[in-house]
Amino acid sequence: MIFKMAWRNLWRHTRRTLITCVTVGFGIWLAVTLSAVGEHSYSTTIDTGARMGAGHVTVQPDGYLDKPSLASRIDGVAALRDKAAALPHVNSASPRITGQAIFTKAGNSRGGMLIAIDPRYESASSSYFVEAMHGPHAEGALFETPDAPQIVLGRTMADYLDASVGKKLVYTTTDKDGDMVAGAGRVGGIFETGVPEIDAGVVLVSIDKAREVLGYGPDEATLIAVTVDDQHAAQEVRDALAPLAPKGASALTWRETMADLVGFIALDRASNQFFQFFLGLLIAAGILNTILMSVLERKREFGIMMAIGMSPWRLFNIVVAESFFIGLVGLALGVVFTTPWAIYLDVHGVDLSSMYGENSTMGGVVMDPIMRFHMTGQLLAGIVGTMFTLTLLAGVYPAIKAGRVPPVESIRMI
Amino acid sequence: MADAIVKLDHVRKVYQQGKIEVVAVDDVTLTIDKGDFAAFCGPSGSGKTTILNMVGMLDSPTAGKVVFEGKDISTLNRTALSRLRKDRIGFIFQAYNLIPVLTAFENAELVLELQGVPAAERRTKVMGLMAEVGLQGMEHRRPDELSGGQQQRVAIARAIASEPALVLADEPTANVDSDTALAILDLMEKLNAERGVTFLFSTHDQKVMERARRIIRLHDGNVVADERR
């Protein structure tokens, strides 16, 4: 009877109840959208960061993260790469040599990041730069063998050095012992990402040529970058790789290698949740207002119910049940509002590049300008649970008030 | 001598209206016996409803005590009072006061559900009551689909559904036409005679007074006459 009465009470003022339920539904829509879009943005940014840097999981020399140097290296990378590539969730495992260098052509010099790669183990899904070489603005091609003499560089650096495809470029750096060394090659390709820091600062060379120049052994590299099919599996892969890492090297996840990005995401997520919590409070205030108004209008009825023997606890439950139904209908409306929107965002997305530019960055990592939807069960449960709890809590004060109605004053028999 | 169901012992009720104290009931002592069909009569402000409220445990006296079936109700907390009202007292209000979202059947059934009576038993009992009060076929109508007299019949069914020891009725015929008033009185008399339900009501209505077997006349909060017929 409690639920029956609560449900019918709600529809005594259909318009008022509907407005309140729509508010709850809108709140769920907004909270889900903010969270899902944020999560998609974080997820793609982490993946892009992994492809721009050292992968979701990295095996690298101890201390390299704090003090990157070409003198730091690990041995036995071929076997380790093969083992890493065979692990579950692993998409790619790529040995790389990375360090700073000065690039020179005909008197023009510019500093930048030298990244030596083995093209056999790299693809657009493992490397942001390789993907850029397949982009519409790229020129030339990526070298195809690990000992290819070609060099690939970003558009801005190429323009600065006046280095077009086919031109010779010299790079100067320090070798494994810290001595100055120089290498050279002809420009094989020029990529353009649109990100100034990358286009002006990244140069790719083949890994065997880099080993020759730097005095590395044939099985040595700075690190092995591992990308995975699900960033949440990074810890599992890291745990599997840790015992395989050579002495003096460690396996790290993206959380350790991209600490700036992790901090930025944590801050952004916290501010998002803070905003959503306040949004929830505002909606709860609206529900409180509706239920309280409805309780005050029914004081007489509550008095009668108490007179005929209904306990204050039962009255409390009737009003809380009304909140529960508002939450339930609001949730259903939230599903109705959110589902088509989620499908649209998932399939088409919303292009925000006109607002934020093609290549805005977060924590130094390129963000996807297309707003899309990424919702996890845990996140959805959190939003629905919070909204439902706030809805129920909004009913508690009016419910207490209903239970305290003095019957004699309400009935006005006097 | 009949058993007492309610005893009022030097009961006084004072209301504060701003800075003025209004004495609604002044030192009333009386006993209502089981099986009584008694009416409080008197002009407006004489204290009829205030006494009914105190007997029904909806209000408490400023001084004196109300004893219901041997229990001093001032010693009971809200929950105990609520339980006692549910199990032992039925109310019929002047303005019917049915729950608007419940049907006639559900209004009468409510107290039984509060008492924890099983659904099948409730159904049988309430359907019987509906027939008894002349509302057969109208069980599923909501109060706004019933006339004033029909609503008052539902209120009577609700009041007696739990088989209370005492039914309190505040001006039960005040809002119905004279034919309906007579029908309601017939019904109350029948329930009193056949089921032994004690009725205590307040009224201005001469017809009601004529039917009562005990008339308690009140004036300015005092009992001025207590006549049995």
Nearest to A413 among B52, B86, B101 (CB): B52
CB contact B170 to A (< 8 Å): yes
- pLDDT bracket for residue B15 (50, 70, 90): confident
Q: Which residue of B has its CA nearest to A312?
A: B79
Residue B63 lies in a domain: no
Nearest to B53 among A306, A312, A413 (CB): A413
CA B207 and chain centroid, separation: 18
Nearest to A307 among B50, B79, B85 (CB): B85
Residue B14 lies in a domain: no
CB spacing of A8 vs B101 below 8 angstroms: yes
CA A395 and chain centroid, separation: 36
Say how far apart CA A56 and CA A276 lie, in whole Å.
Answer: 30
pLDDT tens profile B82-102: 888 888 898 888 777 888 999
Q: Which residue, among A267, A349, A367, has the nearest Cα to A52 in the 3D structure?
A: A367
CB spacing of A300 vs B94 below 8 angstroms: no
- pLDDT bracket for residue A60 (50, 70, 90): very high
pLDDT tens profile B41-74: 988 888 888 999 899 888 889 999 999 988 898 8
CB contact A307 to B (< 8 Å): yes
CB contact B102 to A (< 8 Å): yes
Please report, for residues B88, B169, B199, the alpha-carbon distance to residue B55 in angstroms, rounded to integers and kept in the order given. Answer: 12, 11, 12
**pLDDT, position A388:** 83
CB contact B97 to A (< 8 Å): yes
CB spacing of A300 vs B114 below 8 angstroms: no
A414 has pLDDT over 50: no
Chain A residues within 8 A of B158 when measuring between CB atoms: 308
Chain A residues within 8 A of B162 when measuring between CB atoms: 309
A413 has pLDDT over 50: no
Write the DSSP assignment of A267-310 as a string of letters: HHHHHHHHHHHHHHHHHHHHHHHHHHHHHHHTHHHHHHHHHTT-
CB contact A301 to B (< 8 Å): yes
CB spacing of A407 vs B58 below 8 angstroms: yes
Element spanning A15, H or E: helix A14-52
Residue B209 lies in a domain: yes
CB spacing of A309 vs B82 below 8 angstroms: yes
Q: Which residue has the tokens 């409803």?
A: B49
Q: How far does the CA of residue A294 sit from the closest CA of chain B (Å)?
A: 14
Owning domain of residue B175: 35-57+75-228
For residue B14, give both structure tokens. 């004072």
Q: How far does the CA of residue A32 sit from the closest CA of chain B (Å)?
A: 35
Q: Which residue of B has its CA nearest to A413?
A: B49
Nearest to A411 among B50, B79, B97 (CB): B97
Number of domains in chain B: 1
How many CB atoms within 10 Å of residue A354? 8
Residue B97 lies in a domain: yes
**pLDDT, position A360:** 64
Residue B17 lies in a domain: no
SS (HEC) of chain B:
CCCEEEEEEEEEEEEEECCEEEEEEEEEEEEEECCCEEEEECCCCCCHHHHHHHHCCCCCCCEEEEEECCEEHHHCCHHHHHHHHHHHEEEECCCCCCCCCCCHHHHHHHHHHHCCCCHHHHHHHHHHHHHHCCCCCCCCCCHHHCCHHHHHHHHHHHHHHCCCCEEEEECCCCCCCHHHHHHHHHHHHHHHHHHCCEEEEEECCHHHHHHCCEEEEEECCEEEEEEEC
Chain B residues within 8 A of A6 when measuring between CB atoms: none
A236 has pLDDT over 90: yes
Give B105 or B80, the one with higher predicted confidence.
B105
ipTM summary value: 0.82
Residue B176 lies in a domain: yes
A232 has pLDDT over 50: yes
Say how far apart CA A356 and CA A369 lie, in whole Å.
Answer: 7
β-bridge mates for residue B12, sequence order: B63
**pLDDT, position A154:** 93
Return residues 218-237 of A near B (CB < 8 Å): none
Q: How far does the CA of residue B32 sit from the closest CA of chain A (Å)?
A: 20
Is the distance from CB of A231 to CB of A199 less than 8 angstroms? no
Q: Which residue of A has its CA nearest to B103?
A: A5
Residue B9 lies in a domain: no
CB contact A411 to B (< 8 Å): yes
> How buried is B218 (Cβ within 10 angstroms: 0-12 exposed, 13-18 middle, 19+ buried)?
buried
Please report, for residues A52, A54, A59, A85, A230, the alpha-carbon distance to residue A234 in angstroms, rounded to integers and kept in the order given. Answer: 16, 13, 12, 13, 7
β-bridge mates for residue A173, sequence order: A181
Q: Which residue, among A60, A394, A406, has the nearest Cα to A251 in the 3D structure?
A: A60
**Phi and psi angles of residue A154, each rounded to the nearest 5 degrees, phi first:** -75, 155
Say how far apart CA B197 and CA B183 lie, in whole Å.
Answer: 17
- pLDDT bracket for residue A362 (50, 70, 90): low
Residue B8 lies in a domain: no
Please state the pTM of the whole predicted model. 0.73
How many interchain CB pairs under 8 A, A with B?
78
Q: Which residue has the tokens 């490397």?
A: A127
Q: Which residue, among A278, A12, A80, has the nearest Cα to B102 in the 3D structure?
A: A12
Q: Which residue of B has its CA nearest to A8?
A: B101
Q: How far does the CA of residue B1 sit from the closest CA of chain A (Å)?
A: 30
Say how far apart CA B92 and CA B191 lie, in whole Å.
Answer: 14
The CATH number of residue B49's host domain is: 3.40.50.300
Mean pLDDT value across chain A: 87
CB spacing of A411 vs B111 below 8 angstroms: no
Report the C-alpha dihedral over residues B155, B158, B159, B162, rounded to 10 degrees: 180
**pLDDT, position A340:** 87
pLDDT tens profile B111-145: 899 888 999 999 999 998 888 888 888 899 999 99
Chain A residues within 8 A of B85 when measuring between CB atoms: 306-309
A158 has pLDDT over 90: yes
Residue type, position B18, single letter: G
Is the distance from CB of B57 to CB of B11 less than 8 angstroms? no
Q: How far does the CA of residue B191 sit from the closest CA of chain A (Å)?
A: 19
A57 has pLDDT over 60: yes
Q: How far does the CA of residue A377 sit from the closest CA of chain B (Å)?
A: 38
